Amino acid sequence: MLETKRLILREMTLDDIDDLLEVLSDPKAMQFYPKPFDRQMTQMWIERNMQRYAQHGFGLWALILKERGKLIGDCGLVLQEVDGVEEVEVGYHIRRDLWGQGLAKESALVCRDYGFSHLVCSRLISLIHPANVASRRVAEKIGMRLIREVEWRNKPTCVYAVERSSSAA
């Protein structure tokens, strides 16, 4: 569906459960979630994204490392409600052994560009726990800036945003 130099982003299928579970069950990778995912939670995650594709034409996509042909995470766009306003969020999860290689930035950039060019969004956001320094850096590297902090889903959350006109990085 989407492609970068090193990555392919495609719709998830139930065949992706085992590979995605490797990412979402990692306690360190999921430290800012209520808990790491088990197999059932991962299946529900995939099914929820499959529903998003059907309803909205987008969601989180499976992130495939071209070099290995293996799923290494997810990245994409999801609708989120923040303070009563529906926003499109850029979200990402990368397998921990591949952190620090620019893969989150690379995938988030192509998703940002897709949101602006194909979905014609005027603004995109990322919702990030204040202590998640790595995700905050990714958001900044794709042109996002911290616009405010809110209480979202009963936890403190930084709202990063980028406007279509300012996205040329």
Domains of the chain: 2-166 (3.40.630.30)
pLDDT of residue 1: 85
pLDDT of residue 42 exceeding 70: yes
- Give the DSSP letter of residue 37: -
pLDDT of residue 26 exceeding 70: yes
pLDDT of residue 166: 57
β-bridge pairing 123-128 and 155-163: antiparallel
pLDDT of residue 134 exceeding 60: yes
Strands of the sheet with 2-3, listed across from one edge? 2-3, 7-10, 60-65, 70-82, 85-94, 123-128, 155-163, 145-152
Number of helical H runs and strand E runs in the chain: 4, 8
pLDDT of residue 169 exceeding 60: no
pLDDT of residue 73 exceeding 60: yes
From residue 79, alpha-carbon distances to 14, 44, 49, 160 in Å are: 22, 17, 11, 15
